[in-house]
Structure 1
Amino acid sequence: MFDNYIEGPVPEFIQNLTNLTDLRMYGMKLHGPIPKAFSNLINLETLMLGDIEGNHSTFDFIADWANLSTLSLRKCGLTGQLPNTPPMSNLTYLDLRSNNLSGPIRLLLPYKNSNDMYIYVGENNFTGEVPSEIVQASVALDVSYNRLVNGPLPNSSDGQKWPINYIGTSIDASGTINSEDLTILNCHRRKECNRNNVTNPATSLAINCAGKQMKYSDPLPTVFSEDSTDLGGAGFHVNTASHWVVSHVGSDPFGKSPGIVSTSQDIPGTNISVLYQTARTSTSALWYYLMGLANGKYTVQLFFAEIVIVDGPGRRLFDIDIQDQNIKKDFDITKEAGGPRRPTNITHEVIIDNSILIIHLYWSGRGTCCIPYKGAYGPLLSAIKVFPFQDLKISPPPPQAPPHSARQDEKRRGVVAGIAALCIAGAVISSSVLYLWWKWVSLVKRPMA
């Protein structure tokens, strides 16, 4: 059950369906707590609950689910610590993002059962060092935005980066990334980039999401930075040249969920079609952090075109925040653009006062999940452009004189007529005086007889 407007508590009758193997409920308006009697569902292989309102749920419903391979409890209002449950020997996918869980993050160890785990526990309140066993066993590991998670990461034997997203934590990354990347990450941790971090504050920035660098003039030349790094199921990339970071978490447990998508089809209605032919996407959350911007007012422009769900009844819905403020809820690219493979843009004004701009796109369980393939859902973004705000308001016209009444017009005509009469009278008198003067001169000059 998903993508509908069912409201009320989590249905308790489900606890009686003891032969149930697959239970999925998200994108609705349910509220907790999750019934404790869900522990009766001992045959579950997949349990996916999400978007349950209220911080009322605990792990009392967790049982010895020996057959469970997928456990997703994203944004379910869960509180407290992880239970030390019996090992779930078949578990390969664990998603506990966006709850209020606390305690040492090492409590994840009982949930590790293989060397190809997908673990998402970001946006909680875990503490302490991430066990090396968890890092080394993960295909994707998300511990982002657990600010008290700390310690170093284990060294990689082959020198490759671990598939981990630790943005927003206190993890010491000095041994795993270069100093330039670390400088940019420190800007984010301090929530400000000062002169010691970025020597040349920028006033504009553009990114070709999932695409190569490209130049475009509209009307001034704009260079869209390359953003083609594959981030897997969890990771981030630092662009040291332009001072920005892209962060991604999310994968679908049942199908492909590529973080980069593209099309060779033309995008009509724009003279920069190539900009819309690639996009970053995520089944959970996508962030862009633009560092080192000079403080001031900016225009943020986001570029979209639906290039994946182009046929059938599928719908992609997601939310958009800028500077932690929601600007779009259940944003539908196809609806806004008037169809798939058509461009649409969002323009938003924002004030930067700490030199950092944060753009956050995320899935809230709405829309379809499996059209045209499993994993075709969540945010999708083609490009970003940020430039100084320009007030293009047209100056108001000068005030016009108020209209005159008929009486005022009559009075004005009378005044004009009076002035005209005086002018005529003056002209007649002047003519008479000139005539008499001329006659007198003529008599004076006449010779005497």
Structure 2
Amino acid sequence: MLMHRQEVVFLFLLAFCYFEAFGSGATLPIEEEDALKQISKTLGKENWNFSADPCIREWSWADPSTTKLYENNVTCNCSFQNNTVCHVVSIVLKGQNLQGELPAELVKLPYLQQIDLTRNYLNGTIPAAWGSMQLVKISLLGNRLTGPIPVELWNISTLKYLILEANLFSGPLSPKIGNLVNIDEIQISSNAFSGELPTSLGNLSSLKDFRISDSNFTGKIPDFIQKWTELDKLTVQGSGLRGPIPPGISSLVKLTDLRISDINGTASGFPPLRNMKSMRTLILRNCNLTGPIPDYIWTMKDLKNLDLSFNMLEGQFPPTINKPKDAKYIYLTSNLLNGTVPEGLLKKGDKNWAFSTTGNFLDNDIEEDTFIAENVSRLIMPDFDLYTTARLSPLSLTYYGLCLWNGNYTVKLHFAEIVFTDDRTYSSLGKRIFDVYIQGKLVLKDFNIEDEAGGTHRAVVKNFTAIVATNTLEIRFYWAGKGTQSIPYRGTYGPLISAISVDPDFTPPGGGNKISAGAVIGIAYVLQERGSLLELVDPKLGSEFNKEEAIGMINIALLCTSTSSPLRPTMSSVVSMLEGRTVVQSHISEPNLSTNYWNNKSIRSRHQRLHSQEQSQSNSMDGPQTGASTSASDLYPIIMDLDFLNHRE
């Protein structure tokens, strides 16, 4: 997580105070040393070395091996009384899986300015006694803390940073929150806060960062946000608030990161954002927006992420627009836009890409996202090999079953939460919540794999009946802003699916035994070895077909179904081969496949897996993504009829 300039300055000043007096012979008062002993006991911090002075930077008090997820530092200011007395001014214990509670004994450190207990396993509530302190920063992200925020906390007029994300806090926010007149950041996403936002929040004129995603708030997005003219980042995703986005948002001209998504309420036009010249991330997804996309969006020179998907935006793409110069990701899927996508949106960027999913994972500081999860613990459930990997999506993942017979099908969705752990660490505290649609109908709302399965690394299978009326089956997994986004690290969120199986609830035309599509591929391999590929052609055609074209088409199909991803051609290569611009090479049967391998038992074992180790790619273009691309190659098994295949007339 990137820090604001003010926070960097604050931390620098703390370090400066320490280094000024290092080696000066200053000592820590015995009262504060005793307080540290009590604090260590309450937190469950067992490795502080009290035989060493906490202020001399001995390793147990100041570990130099700091990372984004781990830090162990107690900082003192030793400039008091002519550099003879030290006082503890900062305690940072990040990523240590501490098992205790928040220590009320902090009040015995009267000069403490910062308490950072990010990513531990602490429980209990925030001590009301903290309200009497002169704290500047409180960070408790990623713990098991509960209860409402004590009203005494709102008395800390010195507080600049309040970070309570990813806990179990609940209840409404007190109107006294408006007393935090010096506050810069409020991050309270992924809790169970409820009620309407108090109007006193409008008093916080210095606010620069406000995040309330994944909450249970009620009411509309308030008009008073227009008073936050210093705001740099606003995140309101899956918060419970209703739209529309108030027009007063136009006053927030310093915004660089605006994320509003999944709000209910009446439809409204695009909010006025013309004067936000420094915008880098703009997400207005599923906000009931109507009308055209304003032309000025395409001239935001610093914009890198643009997501306007799942709205009702309409009109044609203006033929002369260009994508924002540095934009890496653009998502416009599921709108009412029409016309030809301008060359400016498809023009080559800094790399080629292809995704089977819509969206990119934000805030993870990773250049290339990973869309395949691998299990972090040993799996012992039946058919565990189905769950060793899973496909991830940061927004929307859609599968299509194509060319199916019309009728009713049983869809089985296989899930297992393999990213979060099942232990007493902060990695176990994540919540993955998403929705599932089949044929456009919501079948699972706020689905939590871990809750449904009774823990992580346990399988849960959900069965549904899907009606196929137009020969196509659509299964979509959608992230609606719910769940944690920072456990075990930032950028961990969104749908996860381990496997999908689809079976007809009827006997397909022709009757007879059913085998999977994988069996048909196996039969094709055998016929290829025999030099008899034309036996796959429908006998109804007789001799009225071009044999060379038929063999070419079959060879292309075999290339596309290869179990080795490097052998599978890209979509552009397939089109080139179909159009005759590229020579179709005969697919070589894989050496480990034989007639005996393709029996029904092997087929069912192999082809009920959803994912290969490789990321499947169904579409490729240069430049930023402009919509969802999908892959059906992960759908196993699509049941076919062997008797129909062998006895066509």
TM above 0.5, yes or no, is yes
Identify which of 359, 363, 367 aligns with 1:254: 363
Counterpart check, 1:289 vs 2:500? no
Cα distance, 1:108–1:337 mapped onto 2, change above 3 Å: farther
Q: Which residue of 1 aligns with 2:469?
A: 353
Q: Which residue of 2 aligns with 1:337?
A: 453
Contact 2:407 2:506 (C-alpha < 8 Å) held by counterparts: no
Contact 1:91 1:111 (C-alpha < 8 Å) held by counterparts: no
Identify which of 482, 500, 513 aligns with 1:366: 482
**What is the Cα deviation at residue 27 of structure 1?**
0.3
Q: Which residue of 2 aligns with 1:378?
A: 494
**What is the Cα deviation at residue 285 of structure 1?**
0.5
1:35-434 equivalent positions in 2, closer than 5 A: 35-85=246-296, 87-106=299-318, 109=321, 112-114=324-326, 116-137=327-348, 163=353, 231=354, 235-236=355-356, 248-255=357-364, 256=366, 257-263=369-375, 265-270=377-382, 272-310=383-421, 311-389=427-505
Listed as ranges, the gaps of 5+ residues in structure 1 are 141-161, 164-230, 237-247, 392-449
Identify which of 15, 19, 39 aligns with 2:230: 19
Structure 2 Cα separation of the partners of residues 23 and 364 of structure 1: 17
Structure 2 Cα separation of the partners of residues 287 and 347 of structure 1: 17
**What is the Cα deviation at residue 35 of structure 1?**
1.2
Contact 1:298 1:387 (C-alpha < 8 Å) held by counterparts: yes
SS in 2 for 1:85: helix
In the alignment of these two chains, the number of paired residues is 287
Cα distance, 1:55–1:125 mapped onto 2, change above 3 Å: farther
SS in 1 for 2:330: strand
**What is the Cα deviation at residue 138 of structure 1?**
5.2
Contact 2:449 2:460 (C-alpha < 8 Å) held by counterparts: yes
Contact 2:291 2:312 (C-alpha < 8 Å) held by counterparts: yes
Contact 2:437 2:476 (C-alpha < 8 Å) held by counterparts: yes
Letter in 2 for 1:74: R
Q: Which residue of 1 aligns with 2:597?
A: none
SS in 2 for 1:386: strand
Q: Which residue of 1 aligns with 2:576?
A: none
> Per-residue displacement from partner, 1:127-151 (whole Å, max 9, x unpaired)?
21111221124579xxxxxxxxxxx
Contact 1:305 1:337 (C-alpha < 8 Å) held by counterparts: yes
Cα distance, 1:358–1:70 mapped onto 2, change above 3 Å: same
Cα distance, 1:137–1:15 mapped onto 2, change above 3 Å: farther
Structure 1 Cα separation of the partners of residues 388 and 305 of structure 2: 31
Contact 1:64 1:85 (C-alpha < 8 Å) held by counterparts: no
Structure 2 Cα separation of the partners of residues 108 and 26 of structure 1: 32
Structure 2 Cα separation of the partners of residues 64 and 390 of structure 1: 59
Structure 2 Cα separation of the partners of residues 75 and 368 of structure 1: 19
SS in 2 for 1:39: helix
Cα distance, 1:295–1:354 mapped onto 2, change above 3 Å: same
Cα distance, 1:297–1:125 mapped onto 2, change above 3 Å: closer
Whichever of the two has the greater Rg, that structure is 1
> Per-residue displacement from partner, 1:390-415 (whole Å, max 9, x unpaired)?
89xxxxxxxxxxxxxxxxxxxxxxxx
Contact 1:55 1:78 (C-alpha < 8 Å) held by counterparts: no
TM-score, with normalisation over the residues of structure 1?
0.60
**What is the Cα deviation at residue 84 of structure 1?**
2.5
**What is the Cα deviation at residue 287 of structure 1?**
0.8
SS in 1 for 2:219: strand
> Per-residue displacement from partner, 1:172-210 (whole Å, max 9, x unpaired)?
xxxxxxxxxxxxxxxxxxxxxxxxxxxxxxxxxxxxxxx
Letter in 1 for 2:312: N
Structure 2 Cα separation of the partners of residues 27 and 386 of structure 1: 31
**What is the Cα deviation at residue 121 of structure 1?**
0.7
SS in 2 for 1:13: helix
Structure 2 Cα separation of the partners of residues 341 and 363 of structure 1: 21
- Which structure is higher in strand share? 1
Letter in 1 for 2:433: L
Following TM superposition, where does structure 1 have runs of at least 4 consecutive aligned residues deviating by more than 4 angstroms? Answer: 137-140
SS in 2 for 1:9: coil
Cα distance, 1:138–1:334 mapped onto 2, change above 3 Å: farther
Contact 1:76 1:99 (C-alpha < 8 Å) held by counterparts: yes
> Per-residue displacement from partner, 1:45-87 (whole Å, max 9, x unpaired)?
1000011223433234213222211000001111111223273
**What is the Cα deviation at residue 13 of structure 1?**
1.4
Cα distance, 1:104–1:298 mapped onto 2, change above 3 Å: closer
SS in 2 for 1:29: coil
Contact 1:318 1:330 (C-alpha < 8 Å) held by counterparts: yes
> Per-residue displacement from partner, 1:77-104 (whole Å, max 9, x unpaired)?
1111122327322111100001111122
**What is the Cα deviation at residue 264 of structure 1?**
6.1
Contact 2:323 2:345 (C-alpha < 8 Å) held by counterparts: no
Q: Which residue of 2 aligns with 1:9?
A: 220
> Per-residue displacement from partner, 1:297-346 (whole Å, max 9, x unpaired)?
32211111111122232100011111212111011001111111111111
Letter in 1 for 2:385: V
Q: Which residue of 2 aligns with 1:222?
A: none
Letter in 1 for 2:441: Q
Identical aligned residues as a percent: 37
**Cα RMSD between the aligned structures?**
2.3
Contact 2:400 2:473 (C-alpha < 8 Å) held by counterparts: yes
Contact 1:103 1:126 (C-alpha < 8 Å) held by counterparts: yes
SS in 2 for 1:63: coil
Contact 2:414 2:461 (C-alpha < 8 Å) held by counterparts: yes
Contact 2:214 2:482 (C-alpha < 8 Å) held by counterparts: yes
Structure 1 Cα separation of the partners of residues 401 and 496 of structure 2: 18
Structure 2 Cα separation of the partners of residues 351 and 43 of structure 1: 49
**What is the Cα deviation at residue 111 of structure 1?**
5.0
Structure 2 Cα separation of the partners of residues 108 and 101 of structure 1: 19
Structure 1 Cα separation of the partners of residues 349 and 329 of structure 2: 6
Q: Which residue of 2 aligns with 1:30?
A: 241
SS in 2 for 1:336: helix
Cα distance, 1:93–1:18 mapped onto 2, change above 3 Å: same
SS in 2 for 1:126: strand
